[in-house]
Amino acid sequence: MKFPFKKVLVTGGAGFIGSHLIEALVAEGCQVTVLDNLSSGHISNLDSVIDYISFCRGDIRDLPTIEEAARDCEAIFHLAAMVSVPQTVERPLESAAINDLGTLQIFEAARNNNVGCAVYISSSAIYGDEPQSPKHEGMNPKPLSPYAVHKLSGEYYARLYHELYKIKTTSLRLFNVFGPRQDPSSPYSGVISIFMSKAIAKSPPTIYGDGNQSRDFVYVKDVVKACLLAAKAENTAGIAVNVGTGSSLEINRLWEMICQITGVKIKPQYMSPRPGDILESVADLQRAKSLLGFEPEYSFEKGLAHTFEWYKRNR
């Protein structure tokens, strides 16, 4: 099925995931407006598409700016957020203003501009440390951080905006996303981006805890595919859907694989576990498969190989 929307808005489009999504939308022939305040994204992430998009530097806390960016759009992909969980623990009010109220403003701008479709990027964080595994969408949410509370409230707004105003909203609960352009510069960056840059620099990584904790690592191109499927889907309005791979990998094994691919042999340093770190996180993909027709295309090894190529070129 051809992509049904011509003019679309992507919030947070200069970020890691957003920039990959925009490349795909441009390839689909869409006119893309990007709204990003560049607080964590980089304009250089958009180098390959900058001549084909309209870039608006602005903040989702500012409703008139969003209204302007959303004008005449048929669909919105809402990715802009304060993305670091520990940052939201330190600054819960700022997180609420961005991740909660900012999200509500996106839906409100959609309503005011008659935008018919919105894809909202949520997170597996909403499951918290619920021990049941794999995590399925019918489970009770157990948010453990302001980030998770705000992502969950975004999902509730998404559902409300479908029920009250008939906007076709879908929430995607992303598991651990990795790939080219993920920024390794903060201690709270994704573990793969940190381990890659450590391996390339030939320095030992830190593993928090015993390294037996595991994660469902999904390659960014598969996340993009899920976003496009969600925009096209007819049967996901008001619903939240997991996006992962359905398999998990232990952090110790992850470092071994990164050593293999980068050709280094370095022992990791171990430190005490991070407070609140969850032991096992893996997505149940039944809903994604049945409602979106989503099936991840990239094996972990293939995704890691592409990621390595990028970090080598851009270290």
Give catalytic residues, as residue numbers: 147
Contact 186, 145 (CB under 8 A): no
Backbone angles phi, psi at 314, to 5 degrees: -115, 20
Q: Binding to ligand UD2 by residue 277, rule CB under 6 A?
A: yes
Q: Which residues of 80-109 are buried (b: 16+ CB within 10 A; e: fewer)?
A: bbbbbbebbeeebeebbbbbbbbbbbbbbb
Q: Rule CB under 6 A: say whether 124 interacts with ligand UD2.
A: yes
Number of residues that bind ligand UD2 (CB under 6 A): 20
Residue 212 within binding range of ligand UD2, rule CB under 6 A: no
User: CA–CA separation, 66 vs 106, rounded Å?
Assistant: 7
Task: Name the nearest CA neighbour of 147 among 103, 190, 187, 181.
Answer: 103
Amino acid at 287: R
DSSP 283: B
Q: Which is nearer to ligand UD2, 21 or 109 (CB)?
A: 21
Please compute Rg for the chain using Cα positions: 19
Q: How far is CA 3 from the centre of its chain?
A: 21
Q: Is 123 in the site for ligand UD2 (CB under 6 A)?
A: yes
Contacting range for ligand UD2; rule: CB under 6 A; set: 4-12, 159-167, 206-214, 223-231: 206-214
| 205 near ligand UD2 (CB under 6 A) | yes
With CA atoms as reference, report the closest residue to 295 among 235, 243, 241: 243
Any contact of residue 235 with ligand UD2 (CB under 6 A)? no
Nearer to ligand UD2, 28 or 250 (CB): 250
CA torsion angle 201 206 212 216 (round to 10):
-60
- Interacting stretch for ligand UD2, rule CB under 6 A, among 5-13, 31-39, 52-60, 121-129? 121-129
213: contact with ligand UD2 by CB under 6 A = yes
Identify the CA nearest to 107 among candidates 172, 165, 146. Answer: 165
- Quick one: which of 20, 181, 215, 232 contacts ligand UD2 (CB under 6 A)? 215
Which segment (58-66, 72-80, 232-240, 276-284) binds ligand UD2 by CB under 6 A?
A: 276-284
Considering only the stretches 40-48, 203-211, 234-242, 295-303, report the one whose residues sit in contact with ligand UD2 under the rule CB under 6 A: 203-211
Given 206, 260, 269, 314, the residue binding ligand UD2 (CB under 6 A)? 206
When binding is defined by CB under 6 A, the residue of 82, 251, 285, 288 that contacts ligand UD2 is: 251
Q: Does 176 bind ligand UD2 (CB under 6 A)?
A: yes
Residue pair 250/213 in contact by the 8 Å Cβ criterion? yes
Beta strands 53-57 and 31-36: pairing type? parallel
Which of 32, 34, 191, 243 forms a contact with ligand UD2 (CB under 6 A)?
A: 191
Q: Does 53 participate in binding ligand UD2 (rule CB under 6 A)?
A: no
Residues contributing to the site for ligand UD2 (CB under 6 A):
85, 123-125, 176, 189-191, 194, 205-208, 213, 215, 251, 274, 277-278, 281
